Structure 1
Amino acid sequence: MNLSGVPEPKLAFAPKHYMCRRAAEPLLLDGRLDKPFWAKADWTDDFVDIEGDLRPKPGKRTRVKMLWDDDCFYFGAELEEDQIWATLTERDSVIFYDNDFEIFIDPDGDSHQYYEFEINALNTVWDLLLVKPYRDGGPAVNGWDISGLRTAVHIDGELNRPGAANRKWSVEVAMPWTTLRECAPEGRPPVEGEYWRVNFSRVEWRTEVVDGKYRKVVNPETGKPYPEDNWVWSPMGIVNMHYPELWGYVIFDGGDRGEAEPFRLPPDELVKWELRKLYYRQRNRYAECGEFTGDSALLMGGDSWTICPTIEITGRLFEISAPSADERSIWRIREDGMLWKERSV
């Protein structure tokens, strides 16, 4: 395993959350979000820059709706845009080379075995499974597909036509539980009251019109296009979507109990986050010094912590553990970022 450094995100731990209601009727996909199917679904907060408050707010609005039923997890995304373009037509192309919309799902919240989905304005998709994040040496399984996936795109304007009166494009996605349950707890769909870790990203390239066509603006100093903007629902504090521990919480609501109770972050999520910070620092120490440390005080520094961790090290391996909030279980994290829970003896 390549034990490279793992940059520590520059933000307070405060992922977004969303109450996902049950769908009341079947979805007939056409890419439009102004039909009755979506009426009971709330909008997410508007997307922000991937680095959060470290960068200016996006100049174009992006927001999402979600619903669920016994068959599927449904997503509806609205992307304001005055330059609607796309070029890629082959499934499993690297879709973020175009402007795109992306969905990330980690069903069990352990940061391993999670899904990534991307779609452009031509309704071309890329779906893949990540065994573990790239920072932990995880491969992307490009041959993995969401069986039964349904998608649609609606263009409010004209695709690939500069000068058109463009307002936005919108996306509908239906992902069957028969596939999503593959990496889910107990290999099943969610039940009412459970939550999955989810995030969304929008990639936006700087473009200009040349010979009547959109073209990415090239930086004359490098000869390459300027870096793309990354706008997200739940900010990451780092230009990297593959930190699943920072994604938002989507709570699956039954929808038949009236107004849902406000979401409160489970206390164990803070325990897991502090273990994750120690994992960042342990990995960074190895990258700098060539060894791990068993001294928790050295990793924790002068920051404020709620856990009292135990650290075990063996050459190129480490394991850090801490009691759960109710002290009935133990949370553990190891050098490849895998985090899991064990019952106390």
Structure 2
Amino acid sequence: MLRLSLCFLALVLMFLGVVLCDAPLSIPPDNIDPKGYVAYRAKKPIVIDGKLDDEAWKDAPWSDEFQDIEGTSKPKPRYKTRMKMLWDDDYLYIAAEIEDPHVWATLKQHDSVIFQDNDFEVFLSPDGDSHNYAEMEMNAFNTTWDLLLTKPYKDGGKALNGWDVIGLKTGVHVNGTINDSRDRDKGWTVEIAWPMTGLKELSRVPVPPRDGDQWRINFSRVEWDINIVDGKYEKVKGKPENNWVWSPQGVIDMHRPERWGYVQFSTAAPGTIKFKPDAALPTKNALHRIYYAQREYYAKHQKYAASLEELGVKLPEGITQKPKFEITTNGYEIHLLQPGTPEKTWTITQDARIWASK
């Protein structure tokens, strides 16, 4: 999630109808490669109780440990977090192991603002176009918050809080005692079965996925610094939450879908397939570099630039084709050919939507 104050600001401005797409904002570095994970087919459906003891999970490798949301330039998280995934025609299965010596939670109402507690979060976009993506958060009480983002907050996106993942299954197991400060816990584990049927409305790619397909996904853990006062857990006043993620965003904002990692679906025998990096990533990074430069240019000139020369942007190494700018009365479309694939052109617009056409 965003830092708490920024997140509430975005929500307030959203309900006031204020569009943030031309406001200055931090620019994520495009030299942090998104992480990739190969998800194999589950041998049988998984019982969602949070315990991770189903035989099927043995076929799923653990991910790398989570890092600070900004990357390795920041201190390593003090507690370990990792995840794993499986899939079948009905569900995307997600498991997570969350180390925490003091497991606590307060929120029990569905669709509460769960990141006010320590939580685990999933961000998912099957087609990866940065629009119409899903977010789901859960705490150690197994209280959930699911919402649909029409587009990122920075681009004037709205959070559809009334949207629910129909058929979503979640489970939590606490390895210790929740809300008891007298002992030391090991942590909590979660299981999620995300229905494929609920993902079809978010995507222009096949759902369920095909062998080798890749979706954009990321995971975040919010961890608050706490004190124990009169035997109760209290958040340290004035300190923002810690944001620990699977694939670093480079900035303190989970709502930059272009920075998420990838899940690659496989029907092969578990452990036999390597993740294949996205060949289009340099082209996408180049377009996002132009997108951020256009935001800055618009803030100064109240119009969009019509060329790289006006923007003063250098494209990443390996991008030799010149992008085509189309400026409209309401925004722009910028097109860039993917190197080595003359039939594929990528397009980005002023609200960060990105897609490929042939």
Q: Give the C-alpha shift of residue 6 in structure 1.
A: 4.2
Residue aligning to 2:342: 327
Give the corresponding residue for 1:294. Answer: 306
The equivalent residue for 1:132 is 151
Number of positions where the alignment pairs a residue of Structure 1 with one of Structure 2: 336
Q: Which amino acid aligns with 2:298?
A: Y
Higher mean displacement: 115-124 or 9-18: 9-18
- 1:208 is aligned to 227
Distance 2:72 2:306 in 1: 34
- Asked if 1:154 is matched to 2:186, the reply is no
User: Hey, what's the Cα distance between the residues in 2 that align with 1:314 and 1:172?
Assistant: 46
Asked if the contact 1:113–1:132 (Cα under 8 Å) also holds between the matched residues in 2, the reply is yes
Q: Indicate how the Cα distance of structure 1 residues 108 and 216 shifts in structure 2: closer, same or farther if over 3 A, else same.
A: same
> What amino acid is the match of 1:331?
W
Residue 227 of structure 1 aligns to a residue whose secondary structure is: coil
Contact residue 152 and residue 255 of structure 2 kept, 8 A = yes
Checking the alignment, whether the CA contact within 8 Å between 1:81 and 1:169 is kept in structure 2 is yes
Query: In the alignment, is residue 275 of structure 1 matched against residue 290 of structure 2?
Result: no
Distance 2:315 2:252 in 1: 24
Q: Contact (CA 8 Å) 2:126, 2:205: kept in 1 or not?
A: no
1:122, 1:337 → 2: CA distance? Answer: 35
Moved more, 200-209 or 2-11: 2-11
Shift of 1:7: 2.6
- When residues 257 and 93 of structure 1 are mapped into structure 2, their CA distance, relative to the original with a 3 A threshold, is closer
Structure 2: how far apart are the matches of 1:201 and 1:100? 8
Q: Closer, same or farther in 2 for the Cα pair 1:148/1:318, shift >3 Å?
A: same
Match of residue 76 from structure 2:
57
Contact 1:291 1:316 in 2 (8 A): no
Q: Distance in 2 between matches of 1:74 and 1:163?
A: 34
Mapped partners of 1:304, 1:279: distance in 2: 14
Matches within 5 A, 1:136-215: 136-186=155-205, 188-215=207-234
- TM-score w.r.t. the length of structure 2 is 0.90
**1:16–1:300 Cα change, 3 Å:** farther
Q: TM-score, normalised by structure 1?
A: 0.93
Name the residue aligned to 2:259: 246
Distance in structure 2 (CA, Å) of the matches to 1:108 and 1:144: 19
**Runs (5+) with no aligned partner, structure 2:** 1-18
Alignment pair present for 1:317 and 2:331:
yes
Distance (Å, rounded) in 2 between the aligned partners of 1:130 and 1:11: 23
Q: Would you say the 8 A contact 1:155–1:168 is kept in 2?
A: yes
% of aligned pairs identical? 46
- Letter of the structure 2 residue corresponding to residue 332 of structure 1: T
Between the aligned partners of 1:304 and 1:335, the Cα distance in structure 2 is: 20
Distance 1:327 1:6 in 2: 34
